[in-house]
């Protein structure tokens, strides 16, 4: 979740729990323009995604997850932060020369 939050900083998630371990994962952007959801059912292998709005939030989340996975699923100890004064900063992985990509809003 940390790596996803760094890459898609205006995304937030909410979980609605159902019966027997099932749940719905909701994704929203802070601009309240787009949403996505997926229903998890215990034992399932494929899940349908629903989304609406100008952004493809599920694809943004998925891209951030796969980046993290391809980096070896790093823990907090491999991330660093460089500040540039004021609210400007850059998060990096292993070395300041390896910034974590920030995924910008994508359009339909």
Q: Give 18-59 pLDDT, tens digit per residue.
A: 888 899 999 999 998 999 999 998 888 888 899 999 999 999
pTM, two decimal places: 0.81
The conformation of residue 98, written as its DSSP 8-state character, comes to S
What residue segments make up the domains of the chain, in order of their start?
Answer: 2-93
Indicate the pLDDT class of residue 99, thresholds 50, 70 and 90.
very high
**Contact of 59 with 105, CB cutoff 8 Å:** no
Q: Which of 23, 24, 100, 16 is nearest to 63 (CA)?
A: 100
Taking 3-state DSSP, the helix, strand and coil percentages for the chain, each rounded to the nearest 5, stand at 20, 30, 45
The residues near 52 (Cβ < 8 Å, ≥ 6 apart) are 34, 35, 36
């Amino acid at each position: 979740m940390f790596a996803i939050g760094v890459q898609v900083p205006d995304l937030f998630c909410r979980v609605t729990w159902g019966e027997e371990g099932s749940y719905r994962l909701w994704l929203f952007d802070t601009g309240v323009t787009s949403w996505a959801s997926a229903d998890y059912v215990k034992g399932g292998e494929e899940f349908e995604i629903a989304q609406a709005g100008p952004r493809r939030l599920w694809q943004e989340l998925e891209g951030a997850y796969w980046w993290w996975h391809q980096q070896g699923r790093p823990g907090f100890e491999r991330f660093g932060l460089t500040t540039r004064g004021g609210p400007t900063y850059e998060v990096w992985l292993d070395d300041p020369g390896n910034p974590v990509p920030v995924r910008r809003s994508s359009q339909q």
